[in-house]
Chain A
Amino acid sequence: MTDPIVALEHVSRGYDGGRIIALRDVTLAVRPGEFVAVVGPSGSGKSTLLHLLCGLDRPTAGRVLFRGTEPASPVAWTKVRARHVGFVFQAFHLFPTLTALENVEIPMFGVVADRAARRRRARELLCRVGLGRRLEHRPAELSGGERQRVAIARSLANSPLLIGADEPTGNLDSRASGDVLDLLEDIQRRDGTVLILATHNREVASRAGRLVELGDGRVVSDRCAS
């Protein structure tokens, strides 16, 4: 069995000085090439788990290991996110004053030094997600589905090992949702990238190879999807 890309060891996450516990004593490992859907009702801790797996948040107890080691500081986690993690937000979070091309270039600052190389890579990625003719459009000039495609292209900018997606279809109609999920699935299959998707939608989750179900901050079940 291959070594995990990311692993949680007895991780808990509390807020307000421990009065609210979002995640309790979770142990979980995600290995290369996996497509994991994190499911559960609202408030079950899906997003918190996803944020911890992607290095966006720190646990209040336990350890988060990335490729076998625990990044020692917030700066070390920043480097991990820059080079190995892509993230797709439900609300896209594109920069309104930048074009699609420029939005995709953003994560490459500090990773790819050459300006022309950044531009070339951004163009390639936007072509890959089917937006080759929308390179110079700003987010306000794109549909919801197109914006999420730009966000997916952005998440791929530095060829990550892991992509986290928090309700990526939450703001999309059913047709755009299908397109976005097809795209994410295609990326996961072709590139062998780990895809971790948090959703409350069972239909969306059914596409994943592994289902992690949460309830009240605990892992209720962790199984291969049938």
Chain B
Amino acid sequence: MTLGGIILLVISWSTILSLVFFCFKRIFTAKEIK
């Protein structure tokens, strides 16, 4: 696996995981935004 492959894998995985974390954390905590 090349350095480029590792970088793209890490960026892709961290982007998706951040999105999942952001969404589900908000679902259980956030209040309506007026």
Q: Do A and B come from one complex?
A: no
